[in-house]
Amino acid sequence: MFGFFKEKIENLKDAVSNTAKSLVGNVLSSVDENEEEYSEFALDDIEDTLISADLGVSYASELVDRLRAQKNAKPSELKKYLKEEFIQTLKNAGDNELSYKDGEVNIYFITGVNGAGKTTLIAKMAYRFKSEGKKVLIAAGDTFRAAAEEQLNIWSVRAGADIVRRDKADPASVVYEAIQKAKNEHYDVILVDTAGRLQNKFNLMEELKKIKTVIDKQAPEALRESILVIDANTGQNGLQQAKVFGECVKLTSVALTKLDGSAKGAIILAIAKEMNLPVKLVGVGEKMEDLKAFNPDDFIDALFN
């Protein structure tokens, strides 16, 4: 457990206001609260609205089917129904707290498609861990993109973290070196950055597998968390990404970036439902401080109130 990430999400309401409109606002305005029961027309409307808010077809129809099957379902209780369902879905996906163990090396392996916000997430995590007095090492595993290491270097200096970087080297060897250094010099945290794009998806996935193997072999005793970074604006595409990365690297959680301003934050619910992956971190801006712990109750409150 890492207490620092537990703080309440400030400005969460602002960050999710567009999602709240597209998900909750539109669904609630599609029913007449004064009706005694749902018409088939209203149920279809609810389903369509949920789908267009990026909840996903199967989850949306499951929610509506359950309403249809309920004897006394009342339109005036739709808000309560959705709120409870959403909280349950988020909680069923697993523990939302970022794993952290004192007295061990904690390795966070950061993956995701090109531009999702991996490097920025690493900078933010480094900053957070550093401000908690942890010894932080960044492994610059994106040796593919020319400017990537330099970008990471600037962030690491700013965050006060150390970095292992090797120009044009094999990413797995960079990670290997970082793990040896962390063991010898007693680091608390290793943040592993990875490339988002290679010549093709096959190469990228092979590279990620290789890095994962190095981590598992070199540090089997370490706390290891594999985080998929998803841009909140990608909507349903995020679900596809979670499937592809999940098959290649055993993911343990999701970080949702760029939630600020996104109207498609409902993808969090679709991922929790379909992939059984808990969201643990949320990016709400481009600055180092703009990283929040994800708390299902706070998130749902911000969406519905």
Ligand X SMILES: Nc1nc2c(ncn2[C@@H]2O[C@H](COP(=O)(O)OP(=O)(O)OP(=O)(O)O)[C@@H](O)[C@H]2O)c(=O)[nH]1
Binding site for ligand X (CB under 6 A): 112, 114-120, 142, 145, 148, 196, 257-258, 260, 283-286, 290
User: Which window, 27-35, 97-105, 111-119, 265-273, contacts Mg ion (CB under 5 A)?
Assistant: 111-119
239 vs 245: CA distance, rounded Å: 10
**Where would I find the H helices in 219-266?**
237-248
Q: Which is nearer to Mg ion, 49 or 119 (CB)?
A: 119
Query: Judged by CB under 5 A, does residue 120 bind Mg ion?
Result: no
Taking alpha carbons only, the member of 164, 123, 114, 109 closest to residue 144 is 114
Least CB distance to ligand X at residue 122 (A): 8
Grouping H, G, I as helix, E, B as strand and the rest as coil, residue 293 is: strand
Least CB distance to Mg ion at residue 209 (A): 19
Strand order in the sheet with 136-141: 162-164, 136-141, 189-194, 106-111, 223-231, 253-257, 279-283, 291-293
38 vs 25: CA distance, rounded Å: 18
Q: Which is nearer to ligand X, 112 or 265 (CB)?
A: 112
- Look up residue 138 and give its DSSP letter: E
Query: Judged by CB under 5 A, does residue 233 bind Mg ion?
Result: no
Least CB distance to ligand X at residue 152 (A): 9
Strand partners, 191: 108, 138
Query: Judged by CB under 5 A, does residue 119 bind Mg ion?
Result: yes
CA distances from 131 to 5, 126, 152 (A): 11, 8, 18
Least CB distance to ligand X at residue 139 (A): 14
Q: Which is nearer to ligand X, 119 or 143 (CB)?
A: 119
Least CB distance to ligand X at residue 22 (A): 18
Query: Judged by CB under 5 A, does residue 156 bind Mg ion?
Result: no
Q: Which is nearer to Mg ion, 191 or 268 (CB)?
A: 191
Query: Judged by CB under 5 A, does residue 194 bind Mg ion?
Result: no
Which residues of the shown chain bind Mg ion in the complex (CB under 5 A)? 118-119
